[in-house]
Amino acid sequence: KTRELDHAGDAKVIDEPDEHAPVAPSASKPDEASPLKTPSSDSSDVNNPQGLPGETKKAGEDFLKWLRDGLHRRTFNVNDVNSKIHMTREGMFLVSPAIFKQYDREHWEHVQKGFTRLKLNEKNSLKNGNIHKYLARGAKRTSEIKGYLIADTVNVFPGIELPNINHALSLPEHQ
């Protein structure tokens, strides 16, 4: 038995394995890219904002899978006033950062960065940035909303029947 400090700085006793004892497959070291969180997960966890670049991309891939599953199962509220997902003439519009916060309130910035690294979204024409602006026209007022635009919905969401276009959203003239 040895002592070492855990993440909080407290000493803990560690049982060292007997060199000659057989090791069960379940006791082997988990794959570092595994998306499963365990009580012993450290700062290399895939949802950790300080994660490695590959882990950031993995967070984006996990977000995309969640988005595809939700669209396929029709569990998302789409094209309504408070929706975080809208269909536009240009493609699917994801209200940001709201959609990423819905997925992971604690590490949403890390997830957003991972999604950006997938390069599935369109760049805007003004600053070659990732964020697009849309005008949402209601009965009494017009609001500006910001987010990511996915133009290639056929390839990004294969086999998923997407909602109709939300005609209350339009691009501002200057974008």
Residue range 81-131, pLDDT digits in tens = 899 999 999 999 999 999 999 999 999 999 999 999 999 999 987 777 999
Q: Which residues contact 171 (CB under 8 A, 6 or more apart)?
A: 88, 90, 132, 133, 134, 135
For residue 93, the cross-strand partners are 86, 149
| Secondary structure class of 2 (helix, strand, coil) | strand
Identify the band that residue 175 occupies on the pLDDT scale cut at 50, 70 and 90.
low
| Residues 3 and 11 sit within 8 Å (Cβ to Cβ) | yes
The Cα–Cα gap between 68 and 64 comes to 6
Residue 26 confidence (pLDDT): 33
Does residue 76 carry a pLDDT above 80? Answer: yes
| Max intra-chain CA distance, the chain | 76
The Cα–Cα gap between 14 and 117 comes to 39
| Secondary structure class of 25 (helix, strand, coil) | helix
Number of residues in the chain: 175
Q: Counting Cβ atoms within 10 Å, is residue 134 exposed (0-12), middle (13-18) or buried (19+)?
A: buried
Would you state the structure tokens that stand for residue 26, as one six-digit string? 């379940």
DSSP label of 9: S
Identify the band that residue 37 occupies on the pLDDT scale cut at 50, 70 and 90.
very low
From first CA to last CA, the distance across the chain in angstroms is: 64
Residue 79 confidence (pLDDT): 96
Instruction: Provide the whole-model pTM.
Output: 0.69
Does residue 18 carry a pLDDT above 70? Answer: no
